[in-house]
A and B are shown apart, each in its own frame.
Chain A
Amino acid sequence: MSDLLAGLIQNPGMLLIVAGVIVALLPGRQLRAIAALAAIIGCYALLASYGTAPMDAPVLMGESTLFGLDLVSIRIDRLSVVFATLFFIAAGLNAIYGWLHASRMEASMGLIYAGAAIGGVLAGDLLTLFIFWELAALSSVFIVWGGGTHAAFKAGMRYLVIQVGSGMALMAGVALTVAATGETAFTAMSLTAEDGSLNIAALLIFIGFGVKAGFPLLHFWLPDAYPRASAVGAVMLSAFTTKMAIYALARGFPGEDILMLIGAVMAVAFIFFGAAASDLRRVLAYSLNSQLGFMVCGIGIGSELAINGAVAHAFASVIYKGMLFMAMGAVLTRAGTLRAAHLSGLYRAMPLTALVAFIGALTITGVPLFAGFVTKSMTISAAGYYEHMLVWLALIAATVGAVNNIGVRIFHDTFMGARSDAAKVSGDAPLPMLIAMALAAAICLVVGIQPTLLWSMLPFDYDYAAYTMDHLITQMQLILFAVLLFALARRFGLAARPRDGVLLDVDWLYRVPGRIALAGVVRGTAAAWHRLWWGIQAGVARLVKGLYDTHGPEGALARSWPVGFMALFTAVVLGLMLIVTFVAY
């Protein structure tokens, strides 16, 4: 056990978790923010001291044994290091963004959540991954609850059930793997066993990863929970859970064909939901889910370029999606609402936030010189090179979806146009929020202008040229003509904002009919129990009454019997005993 603790404590994520506990005890938001930043920088320095290693020759540290199973607290290779570095950047931006607004719980749980995600991507075995996987789930639910409303509490409970369910699926898969092989190492696995049958253990692990990655039909926790968190909390949530799952898929299931189909469905289906949602953070949540489709497709394709593309896009996505959540959080902080129907023309009161949202829109749509252009095009190119035409078409459609959902809905409809009453706010975002957004925007620009900085961190050495003439022309055609069509539709009154209200999703199944069915089951069970209980009560009452009638003061056995009758009765009993004795011997 001491080996295990000694191993875990070498994991920078574990140290960040300890720092999160300490931060909870500190007074004052600014002191907590300073301590959080110091902890993030310190833990990153520890990670940097470990260096990096090629994919085929990872460095393993913190090895220990628990119940006869070999555990590896830290695996350093280019895949784990790039994700851990990304999570450190996200944690730092979150700490700055929440400088004035993060509650004690958000500041503390934000660090623990980031630490769990970092610990998870550095974990060298499935059991260590499970520990951090569950810790990420448990810490993040407090961030959902940080929304402070009863609706946030209920959403948090639903989120918790789903997240813990993901962990249970992972644990079940790990248990079956250990039972079959005796190994806990987290390496690439396949859904198909060597004899061609379904690998149940791998399937359970795959489902556990899929829940957190927002696979279609398993995604509903994401647009349900993220919009319920506070302005600061939603930014934290957008960074870690889904990308931890993307890391796990890249590590565990590279080249798994079914991921291409799943990713293509994710990329396309969720842009329609994003177009139909009226809550702007819900639009962002669906857009995030669609962008995850790019990464899942890349992992499914499985080539070095595609895996690099998935990882690079995860990197860019954490930054630009966090930036967009930051911008919407700033709007929520100032305007008090994120209902699309109530907001327009905010650029006049919040010009810097509008600029950030604009940069976010340029990035996610893949405009050249911004990070999205160089990271998206890797996965799209990989789909093209390996002739996965449907995947390629889906990713092109998803790019247009980003133009609509982020460029039109988030940027244009919220910040541009005639100023609505809700947009008459007192000023731009608070300074720490602006600093965090500016840093994120700078990262998007730096990666877009100088992509080799990111390329050098990716899992595989692959010479990819993003800025070719045909990439530039085709991408700009795609974006500009989509913008033109949306603009024309608006100009001629053919496009309307979505209806204001709640957009139903798969969660409707368990929140309405499921709830009715559950209530029916509860009522039926209660009625059956009552019938059973009343039956038992009635039976016991009848038995007692019968005994009382026989043995009570008024009962038959309590009567005084005549002496002759008693003598006759005794003689009969003795006779019966004689007969029994005679037969027995």
Chain B
Amino acid sequence: MSDNHHTPASEETGDTGFFEKPGMRKILWVALLASCAIFAALGIYGMVAGWMHPYFTLDGLPVFYALAGAIVAAVLGAGGRLLSEALTKPSDYYDSPADETRPDDGEGRP
């Protein structure tokens, strides 16, 4: 889960945090997969047991929400990336770096 992929400086120096340890990553993965499985199973069981009250035919399908979550996440990931590639310009596109600096201390103080 916490496998950050592009700032590995701390890993190179052995500066590994609690959530980056391989054992913890494994636990987080197992927890995520188990949770997904449990709620998917509950959804299917809920359909049989009559817990579920779909609004439309569409969400009457078993695990509709699981599929919707995954599909929208995929579309969003791809769409966000495309949008970023298409519409991102250099940081000084509108304002020069000097415009981004506070004149009172020169340090970009928040």
Q: Do A and B come from one complex?
A: yes
Q: Which residues does A use to contact B, with CB under 8 Å?
A: 101, 148-151, 154, 230-231, 271-278, 329, 332-333, 336-337, 344-345, 347-348, 383-385, 387, 389, 392, 396-397, 400-401, 403-404, 412-413, 416-421, 468-470, 473-487, 489-491, 493-505, 511
Residues of A near B46 (CB, < 8 A) are 469-470, 473
Q: Are B76 and A473 in contact (CB under 8 A)?
A: no
Residues of A near B19 (CB, < 8 A) are 347, 416
- Once bound together, how far apart are the Cα atoms of A396 and B72, in whole Å? 9
- Once bound together, how far apart are the Cα atoms of A496 and B78, in whole Å? 10
Residues of chain B from 37 to 84 with CB closer than 8 A to chain A in the complex: 39-40, 42-43, 46, 51-53, 55-56, 58-59, 63-70, 72-74, 76-77, 79-81, 83-84
- Once bound together, how far apart are the Cα atoms of A151 and B91, in whole Å? 12
Q: Are B1 and A487 in contact (CB under 8 A)?
A: yes
Instruction: Provide a sorted-by-A list of 10 A–B residue pairs whose CB atoms are within 8 angstroms.
Output: A275-B81, A276-B80, A336-B107, A344-B4, A385-B55, A404-B73, A481-B69, A489-B77, A503-B83, A503-B84
- Minimum CB–CB distance for A282 against chain B, Å: 11
- Once bound together, how far apart are the Cα atoms of A421 and B93, in whole Å? 26
Q: Are B95 and A499 in contact (CB under 8 A)?
A: no
**CB < 8 Å neighbour of A413 from B4, B36, B40, B88:** B4
Nearest residue, chain A, Cβ from B57: A389
- Once bound together, how far apart are the Cα atoms of A325 and B76, in whole Å? 23
**CB < 8 Å neighbour of B76 from A272, A336, A480:** A272
**CB < 8 Å neighbour of B95 from A151, A271, A278:** A151
- Minimum CB–CB distance for A399 against chain B, Å: 8
Residues of B near A495 (CB, < 8 A) are 77, 81
Q: Are B102 and A148 in contact (CB under 8 A)?
A: yes
Contact-residue size bin, chain B (C-beta under 8 Å from the other chain):
35 or more
Residues of B near A491 (CB, < 8 A) are 3
**CB < 8 Å neighbour of A149 from B39, B68, B100:** B100
- Minimum CB–CB distance for A469 against chain B, Å: 4
**CB < 8 Å neighbour of A272 from B69, B80, B91:** B80
- Minimum CB–CB distance for B57 against chain A, Å: 10
Additional pairs, 20, CB under 8 Å, beyond known A396-B72, A481-B66: A149-B103, A150-B103, A275-B79, A333-B110, A336-B109, A397-B72, A397-B76, A416-B4, A468-B53, A476-B39, A477-B40, A478-B65, A478-B69, A480-B35, A481-B73, A485-B70, A499-B85, A503-B87, A504-B87, A511-B94
- Minimum CB–CB distance for B61 against chain A, Å: 12
- Once bound together, how far apart are the Cα atoms of A496 and B84, in whole Å? 10
Q: Are A384 and B56 in contact (CB under 8 A)?
A: yes
- Minimum CB–CB distance for B93 against chain A, Å: 5
Residues of B near A403 (CB, < 8 A) are 69, 73
- Minimum CB–CB distance for A268 against chain B, Å: 9
**CB < 8 Å neighbour of B91 from A154, A396, A490, A500:** A500
Residues of B near A476 (CB, < 8 A) are 35, 39
Q: Are B101 and A501 in contact (CB under 8 A)?
A: no
Nearest residue, chain A, Cβ from B107: A336
Against A, the Cβ 8 Å flags (1 = close, 0 = not) of B15-50 are 111011000000001001101100110110010000
Residues of B near A272 (CB, < 8 A) are 76, 79-80, 83
Residues of B near A348 (CB, < 8 A) are 17
Residues of A near B17 (CB, < 8 A) are 345, 347-348, 418-419
Residues of A near B109 (CB, < 8 A) are 148, 336
- Once bound together, how far apart are the Cα atoms of A417 and B1, in whole Å? 8
Q: Are B73 and A231 in contact (CB under 8 A)?
A: no
- Once bound together, how far apart are the Cα atoms of A150 and B98, in whole Å? 8
Question: Given A231-B110, A413-B4, do A501 and B89 touch, yes or no (CB 8 Å)?
Answer: yes
Residues of B near A498 (CB, < 8 A) are 80-81, 84, 88
- Once bound together, how far apart are the Cα atoms of A230 and B43, in whole Å? 45
- Once bound together, how far apart are the Cα atoms of A565 and B94, in whole Å? 79
Q: Are A336 and B4 in contact (CB under 8 A)?
A: no
Residues of A near B76 (CB, < 8 A) are 271-272, 275, 397, 400-401, 404
Residues of A near B77 (CB, < 8 A) are 275, 404, 485-486, 489, 494-495
Q: Are B1 and A416 in contact (CB under 8 A)?
A: yes
Q: Are A502 and B33 in contact (CB under 8 A)?
A: no
Q: Are B7 and A501 in contact (CB under 8 A)?
A: no
Nearest residue, chain B, Cβ from A392: B55
- Minimum CB–CB distance for A489 against chain B, Å: 6
- Once bound together, how far apart are the Cα atoms of A420 and B3, in whole Å? 13
Which are the 6 A-B pairs with shortest beta-carbon distances?
A417-B4, A275-B80, A384-B55, A481-B69, A498-B84, A276-B83
Q: Are A502 and B94 in contact (CB under 8 A)?
A: yes
Q: Are A480 and B10 in contact (CB under 8 A)?
A: no
Residues of B near A333 (CB, < 8 A) are 110
Question: Given A480-B32, A501-B88, do A490 and B5 touch, yes or no (CB 8 Å)?
Answer: yes
Q: Are B66 and A477 in contact (CB under 8 A)?
A: yes
Nearest residue, chain A, Cβ from B18: A348
Residues of A near B93 (CB, < 8 A) are 501-502, 504
Residues of A near B85 (CB, < 8 A) are 499
- Once bound together, how far apart are the Cα atoms of A545 and B88, in whole Å? 62
- Minimum CB–CB distance for A53 against chain B, Å: 34
Q: Are A485 and B69 in contact (CB under 8 A)?
A: yes
Q: Are A149 and B7 in contact (CB under 8 A)?
A: no
- Once bound together, how far apart are the Cα atoms of A528 and B4, in whole Å? 60
Q: Are B39 and A336 in contact (CB under 8 A)?
A: no
- Once bound together, how far apart are the Cα atoms of A210 and B79, in whole Å? 26
Residues of B near A412 (CB, < 8 A) are 1-2
- Once bound together, how far apart are the Cα atoms of A489 and B16, in whole Å? 22
**CB < 8 Å neighbour of B104 from A148, A486, A503, A511:** A148
Q: Are A477 and B43 in contact (CB under 8 A)?
A: yes
- Once bound together, how far apart are the Cα atoms of A93 and B40, in whole Å? 39
Residues of A near B108 (CB, < 8 A) are 149, 336-337
Nearest residue, chain A, Cβ from B79: A272
Nearest residue, chain A, Cβ from B11: A418
Residues of B near A486 (CB, < 8 A) are 73, 77
Residues of A near B100 (CB, < 8 A) are 149, 151
- Minimum CB–CB distance for A110 against chain B, Å: 16
Question: Given A148-B104, A400-B69, A481-B67, do A497 and B52 touch, yes or no (CB 8 Å)?
Answer: no
Q: Are B91 and A474 in contact (CB under 8 A)?
A: no
Residues of B near A389 (CB, < 8 A) are 55-56, 58
Q: Are A480 and B4 in contact (CB under 8 A)?
A: no
